[in-house]
Structure 1
Amino acid sequence: MKFIVQWKGQPSIQLSAIERFMKTGGLPPENVTLLGRWHAIGEIGGVAIAEAADANGLAAWLIQWGDLLSFTTTPALNDEELGAALAAYQASLK
């Protein structure tokens, strides 16, 4: 399953976040695949797309940063997956 992960932090954590990111690369655990990550310019925040079999690995990854950042995590579908869900919905209306 894919997840949209958004994060935000306050300016007061900037140096700690830089230090941790430079040390770890912000990489997820082995059971989570980071598909892409983008950082906002001029603020402490961004978005990542990750894939995992379940939310356990994702939770472990975000807990590593929970002392510095707040997260919003949402399950995500690509166009093909959403199309299948929409087709099933349309079929249920008949």
Structure 2
Amino acid sequence: MKLMYCWKFLPGCYQEGMKVFLETGAPDPEGDLKTIGRWHAPGSQYGFHLVEGDPVVAAELSAQWSHLVEIEATPVIDDEEAKTALRKVF
């Protein structure tokens, strides 16, 4: 399963969050979860993180950062996966 995290720092947490990110590199938790990509919106306090793997491990990742960021996780599929689903309906 792929999840797109849209994250935004909680008020007053930007500096602490960036320090944690710089010190740790924000690694994936142990288990079946892989970062596909992570993007930061320059000049803002938000960004995006695309992961693939076990949703339980993804929930752990969200919990690890929940004291610093608000996270919205959306399941996503690529074009080919969408076409497969759509062909069954249309």
* Runs of at least 5 residues in structure 2 that lack an aligned partner in the other structure: none
TM-score (norm 1): 0.88
Where 1:29 maps in the other structure, the secondary structure is: coil
Deviation at 1:11, TM superposition (A): 5.0
TM-score (norm 2): 0.92
Question: Looking at CA atoms only, which structure, 1 or 2, has the larger radius of gyration?
Answer: 1
Question: Matched residues, percent identical?
Answer: 34
Q: Is the 8 A contact 1:11 1:44 kept in 2?
A: no
In structure 1, the residue matched to 2:48 is 47
In structure 1, the residue matched to 2:60 is 60
Where 1:12 maps in the other structure, the secondary structure is: coil
Where 1:84 maps in the other structure, the secondary structure is: helix
* Runs of at least 5 residues in structure 1 that lack an aligned partner in the other structure: none
Deviation at 1:10, TM superposition (A): 3.7
User: Counterpart of 1:45 in structure 2: which amino acid?
Assistant: Y
Runs of 4+ in 1 over 3 A off after TM superposition: none
Of the structure 1 ranges 27-36 and 76-85, higher mean CA displacement relative to structure 2 is found in 27-36
Alpha-carbon RMSD: 1.1
Q: Is the 8 A contact 2:29 2:57 kept in 1?
A: yes
